[in-house]
Structure 1
Amino acid sequence: MMKEQMSIGEFSRIARVSPRTLRFYEEQGLLKPSYISDSGRRYYRPDDLIPLQQIIAYKYLGFSLKDIKAIMSGQAGDSNALLRSLRMQKQALEHKQQHIQQILKAIDHATAVLEAEHRIDPQVISFLIHSIVTEQQQMEWMSDWFPEPLIQRIKENFADESKERDWNMRSTLLLQDLKQALRNHRPDSEEVQQLIEQFMALANELMGDNWYFMNEYADHLENIELPAAIGTPFTEEEEKWFAEAFEYYSIKKGLFSDGHRESE
């Protein structure tokens, strides 16, 4: 049977928290002893287990001690305030859960690539991880600039994770080959142009034949600062070479006109 008055040691054993934790909660104004003797000894009552369990429960849900104090003191008895707090905390935890899931997916996809090809440029594998982790932010940004059918097509293609994993594998290995080719060959060389052809095939697989639309918006987007979520697997010099290689390919294939090239 529980005693009506317990020392801090007795209470800590029943509550399964350390005396040090109880003192800390007291310092934070969360849980004060029911009685403090003249000599400074602290005593607790069975009823003190209720607020202690509340503190533990709220901590488990991820609330800060400041939030817990607000819930238990100024908002005591206000069920609506508690309900709002719980809903906000649920939303925050769901956001954190989604972020963790994206990180786990990024690790899985990067691991698959490294198992297939051990000699991957660090910038390429970092680009893959960054792209997956910031996938949601990228889609939100694209939704502001591109038509809904294109956005929907991308979402549908990546709705199947195995399909997304396969596309990420192929695109990452292709980017690796492109980086190496751009370092060793001219942008208009056959080696580089064959890789650009593969790059276009992968892009069309993801987005469909939307390159005329992309060309239409290219000049408009050039003056817009890209968000941090949009990364690159290339160095600044490699980006210049890639742009030259892509322009050569586009004109040769009739995607862009010579007039477009001259206007730049």
Structure 2
Amino acid sequence: MYTIGEFGAKTGFSTRTLRFYEELGILYPSKRNESGHRLYGLEELAALQRIQSLKFIGYSLQEIKELLDKEEITLENFVDSVPVQRKVLVHKREELNRAIAAIDHVQALLDDDFPLDWTVLTSLLHGMEFEEEQKAWMKEHFPDDFASLFTDIPKKKREKLDREWLSILAEVKRLMRENVPPHAPEAQQVFLNINDLFMRIVPEDVITENIDKWEEQLESAEADDFVAPTFWSKEEEAYMEEIAKAMEQKYKESEGK
């Protein structure tokens, strides 16, 4: 038999962890010595190995406790839970794959010296984290031919579009930092660049044929609970709105001549 310190040294577990397992109710010392100190033996070693084996295949400590708390601890209890646990692990693997892809994407942008702030970074990561949900939302609210233009963009093309979009965002930040007025040509050029980027995703003839139908569906979709991530701060949104107003006013003046 071993004291908790000796048992921890032999198994590689700290006394703090062993005490926590005891408090949780998944590892009890079978005996105590005359001084009342915990004593651990082969039975506790087997229990500890069982705990670690279950942790290895993804069971949480609480799930291990629930499994071991059954009136009769049998292999059948474990076997019954295996299919569910496999689904949990597959889901975690998919989440990890998305997280790794997001990190790779951000790292590539950083390697290219693209300026990132928390608003942009959060929006990028949010978009990648909930990509499947956003695809489902698009397909629910818009015609398939329109939704597919956004949801079926090849990886390389998406990365290129992201780089162009980040360049536009950086330009907006520069314009605001230098107090360039919304009616200035370089400010309005940003708006034109955004329009050009959108037109390269959605062909002009597709827009012309479906604009009325899509605007109606967009108004309906805006009332939905889904909130798309925004790359703009509130100040940047206000600045872009002022640019749009200035361009609209310029257009009206040219039409009146």
Same-fold call, TM cutoff 0.5: yes
Closer, same or farther: CA 10–181 of 1 in aligned 2, 3 Å: closer
Correspondent of 1:146 among 138, 142, 145: 142
Closer, same or farther: CA 179–211 of 1 in aligned 2, 3 Å: farther
Correspondent of 2:167 among 169, 173, 178: 173
Closer, same or farther: CA 14–121 of 1 in aligned 2, 3 Å: closer
- Any unmatched runs of 5+ in structure 1? 252-257, 259-264
Q: Are 2:14 and 1:8 aligned?
A: no
Distance in structure 2 (CA, Å) of the matches to 1:23 and 1:86: 27
Q: Which residue of 1 aligns with 2:213?
A: 216
- Any unmatched runs of 5+ in structure 2? none
Report Cα offsets for 1:105-141 as digits up to 9, x if no partner: 452244145x15x5x6764555445444443333232
- TM-score, structure 1 as length reference: 0.72
Closer, same or farther: CA 64–249 of 1 in aligned 2, 3 Å: farther
Distance in structure 2 (CA, Å) of the matches to 1:50 and 1:249: 80
Q: Which runs of 4+ in 1 moved over 6 A?
A: 245-251
Give the letter aligned to residue 224 of structure 1.
Answer: A
Correspondent of 1:201 among 189, 196, 204: 196
Report Cα offsets for 1:205-260 as digits up to 9, x if no partner: 23444433355322442352563343142534124235546868999xxxxxx9xx
Distance in structure 2 (CA, Å) of the matches to 1:144 and 1:168: 24
CA displacement at 1:13 relative to structure 2: 2.7
**Percent identity for Structure 1 against Structure 2:** 23
CA displacement at 1:26 relative to structure 2: 1.4
What SS does the aligned partner of 1:90 have? helix
- TM-score, structure 2 as length reference: 0.73
Q: Which residue of 1 aligns with 2:24?
A: 28
Q: Are 2:136 and 1:137 aligned?
A: no
Give the letter aligned to residue 92 of structure 2.
Answer: L
Q: Which residue of 2 aligns with 1:81?
A: 80
What SS does the aligned partner of 1:176 have? helix
What SS does the aligned partner of 1:33 have? coil
Superposed CA RMSD: 3.6
CA displacement at 1:46 relative to structure 2: 2.0
What SS does the aligned partner of 1:140 have? helix
Distance in structure 2 (CA, Å) of the matches to 1:121 and 1:83: 43
CA displacement at 1:32 relative to structure 2: 1.0
